[in-house]
Amino acid sequence: MRFRSRLLVDLNILTENYQKLKKICPNNEVLFMVKADAYGHGILPIVRHAVTELGIKEFGCATLGEAIHLRDELFDLEFEIYVFSDVQLGLQEKSEIYLNRRIIPILSNMDDLKFILDNSDFKNFPLSVKFNTGMNRLGIDYDRVDEVISLIKSKGRKSIYHLLTHFSSSSLSMKTNKRNIEQKARFKAIKEAFIEAGIELERTSIANSGAIEQGHGLEETHIRPGLMMYGPSSLIKPIREQSLWDGRVISSLETYVLKVFPVKKGQPVGYGATPVPYEGLCAIIALGYGDGFSTRYVGATLTHNGHLGKVVGRVNMDMAQVLFKNEAANNLKVDDRFIVWRNDPSDILRLSDETATIPYEIFLHLTNRVPKVYV
């Protein structure tokens, strides 16, 4: 584990982000997505803060294992957990967990739906049904809605606990993208079919972060914010100016400078003897791919005390080289604290844009060698 490299997670900023979210959608309940260890920020402290300080009562995980972990460790708190993808419902021991641990599987295929409806133990278990309206990943195909309605009614069920779908392209314009428009229309038709059949819809949701940022999907009872709660926009760069979102990144990644030395243009540094592109000062920072500072970050720009540097050479397992111009000499010293990204979202969005990745990946790349410190 590192001692001077760490991910600082500011729970006060999470509170700020939630308050900003509620200004966009004051009338919606929040199903907060905390899968993948709360997008790399630590699921237990994030959920505890969200329940006790923010009053959020519903959370989304990807796997049953994540949900069990929350139940085991946060047994003193009252909240609902949904499992969105890896539900493992057909295994007897896993179905008993759903029954006994207040965990709700998202039913994304006919087999799982039939399993619940045919099993007398699940007679009063809430039905959360996901339809595929065009993402073509998980979900019951939208053109099978009549079949689903018939099946549900044949079992004497009169309500759906949560009806949902998922946008495939909410990082693009919700107003003009044909797929987004089509998915909204299909979900509306699905809801209307259930209502006309006399089946009550207790909860509905369609809006993930990209849709929420653009003020879409707010006619449903719930929203499902993920990335935006952690700070960054999920929109592609050309349309970010259309976003309603001005949240801050809840984390900052910091390390320190191991060494500073002058280099001439073309001088080789590190593995592979990669020549540097210009004369300047090379700073060795105490982060490498063993910490989650990816080899893909070569060429990315990082700032230090107002000076712009560039990651050069190969990223090592334990360190990386950042090249600065000579003007940084008085502001670049050994043992300096070096911040890779700050709470300002522009840092991590620039890093993701320059490295052709996404903020989700950057957060999740970090390994356990980088400790999380909560403030």
Q: What is the pLDDT of residue 88?
A: 87
**Cα distance between residue 134 and residue 166, in whole Å:** 8
Nearest to 263 by CA among 248, 280, 284, 285: 280
| Pair type for strands 274-275 and 280-285 | unpaired
Give the C-alpha separation, 42 to 44, whole Å: 6
Q: Where are the domains of the chain?
A: 11-235, 251-374
Q: Which residues pair with 268 in a beta bridge?
A: 275
In the chain, alpha helices (H): 11-24, 35-40, 43-52, 64-73, 92-101, 110-118, 145-154, 178-196, 209-213, 227-230, 345-354, 359-365
Q: Which long-range contacts (CB under 8 A, 24 or more apart) does 184-187 make?
A: 184/216, 184/217, 186/131, 186/133, 186/134, 186/142, 187/131, 187/133, 187/142
DSSP notation for 193-241: HHHHTT-EES-EE---HHHHHTT-STTSSEE---HHHHS---S-GGGGG
Domain 11-235 has CATH 3.20.20.10: yes
- Determine the pLDDT at residue 244: 97
Which of 36, 32, 71, 194 is closest to 127 using CA atoms? 194
Task: DSSP for 300-327, please give it.
Answer: -EEEETTEEEEEESPPPSS-EEEEE-GG
Task: Give the Cβ contact number of residue 256 at 10 Å.
Answer: 17
100 exposed, middle or buried (CB, 10 Å; 0-12, 13-18, 19+)? exposed
What does the alpha-carbon distance between residue 189 and residue 196 come to, in Å, rounded to a whole number? 10
pLDDT tens track, the chain, 375 positions: 888 999 999 999 999 999 999 999 999 999 999 999 999 999 999 999 999 999 999 999 999 999 999 999 999 999 999 999 999 887 777 788 999 999 999 999 999 999 999 999 999 999 999 999 999 999 999 999 999 999 999 999 999 999 999 999 999 999 999 999 999 999 999 999 999 999 999 999 999 999 999 999 999 999 999 999 999 999 999 999 989 999 999 999 999 999 999 999 999 999 989 999 999 999 999 999 999 999 999 999 999 999 999 999 999 999 999 999 999 999 999 999 999 999 999 999 999 999 999 999 999 999 999 999 999
Query: In angstroms, rounded to a whole number, what is the distance separating the alpha carbons of residues 212 and 215?
Result: 5
Residues recorded for the chain: 375
The whole-angstrom distance between residue 79's C-alpha and the CA centroid of its chain comes to 20
Q: What gap in Å lies between CA 55 and CA 52, rounded to an integer?
A: 6
- HSE value, Cβ hemisphere, 13 Å, CA-based, for 6: 11
The CATH architecture of the domain made up of 251-374 is: Beta Barrel (2.40)
Q: Judge whether 11-235 and 251-374 match in fold.
A: no
Residue 226 exposure: Cα atoms within 13 Å on the Cβ side:
25
